[in-house]
Amino acid sequence: MAAAKFLTYTRGGTKKLEKPFEKPVIVPREDDQDPAAHAWADARFATDIMAEHGLFFALLMPPELARDERKDALQFSRKFTQLHIRIVEAGPPEKRELKRFTTRVIEAIKPFIDYKARLGEAQRKGKLRSLVWPLFFDHTRHEAERWTRRLEQLSAGDSEFEKAEVAGFWDNIMDEHARFVAHLLDPDESELIEKAMDTSKVFQELGAGGFAGAAAALVKKPGTVVNALTTFPETSAVLSAAETILDFKTKAARDIEAGRIKSIIDPRLADHVRREALKFFDELKRAL
């Protein structure tokens, strides 16, 4: 890999990873518009995310309740892990290989989108009784669909991030993460549950009405973790919110790992949502 072309984000800002749960996020340098570099970094990120979705489904599918669905989830997880390793090892594609590279990843994601849609529907109707919420199936499907859209855009030679798309997609994802966290915390963690719900509200408002809505949510919820919003002008409001939820998730990941937070949040899930917040933050900086 041409390492100089890429930046590596870590929790602590140094080269050292917080073992065993932290994974780095690798992105093209800030001034790099090369679609092949972006396609490699995004495929690298997304295939690992997909592998983890499969793993999280399996964790939430007791064999007594969803034996076949669990098997399929683990199969997806293995398939994406293998693809991820191949992408990491091969490094960025040549320009002439870009189309083939993105098509391969998109084609791998498609059956997982179908699986998430089918099982989401079954869980919603009570035909499947796993411990995966319907919203978790929807959420992970929306992520899969977004990565295929992004790779299609890159395969056409366009690497630019559009602010409305980036904020629109990730505001919703951040809102849902906050609600997932709230519902996976030990019910005794009242203060954190409230913080998570307030954070969700801010991202809902940002998604619906932009800055004014978020500011209104803050007035109603002065205890929110996104206090910094009030001190920023409108253009930076989403960036500030993204940075604040990233800090919140980094702290939560560390506290979950150290057992300082009582929850049923798997440390791998905590790091997963932290990396997604980081990606949001990075994309937003490029889009502004």
Q: Which residues bind Fe ion (CB under 5 A)?
A: 49, 143, 276
Tell me the three-class secondary structure of the chain, residue by residue. Answer: CCHHHEEEECCCCCCCCCCCCCCCEEEECCCCCCHHHHHHHHHHHHHHHHHHHHHHHHHCCCHHHHHHHHHHHHHHHHHHHHHHHHHHHHCCCCHHHHHHHHHHHHHHHHHHHHHHHHHHHHHHHCCCCCCCCHHHHHHHHHHHHHHHHHHHHHHCCCCCCCHHHHHHHHHHHHHHHHHHHHHHECCCCHHHHHHHHHHHHHHHHHHHHHHHHHHHHHHHCCCCCCHHHHHCCHHHHHHHHHHHHHHHHHHHHHHHHCCCCCECCCHHHHHHHHHHHHHHHHHHHHHC
Identity at 159, one-letter amino acid code = S
Residue 93 or 140 with smaller CB distance to Fe ion: 140
Residue 237 or 270 with smaller CB distance to Fe ion: 270
Q: How far is the CB of 52 from Fe ion (least distance, A)?
A: 7
Residue 32 or 138 with smaller CB distance to Fe ion: 138
Residue 175 or 205 with smaller CB distance to Fe ion: 175
| Cβ count near 51 (within 10 Å) | 19
Residue 22 or 276 with smaller CB distance to Fe ion: 276
Q: How far is the CB of 203 from Fe ion (least distance, A)?
A: 12
Q: How far is the CB of 139 from Fe ion (least distance, A)?
A: 6
Residue 143 or 205 with smaller CB distance to Fe ion: 143
Q: How far is the CB of 142 from Fe ion (least distance, A)?
A: 9
Q: How far is the CB of 271 from Fe ion (least distance, A)?
A: 11
Q: How far is the CB of 173 from Fe ion (least distance, A)?
A: 5
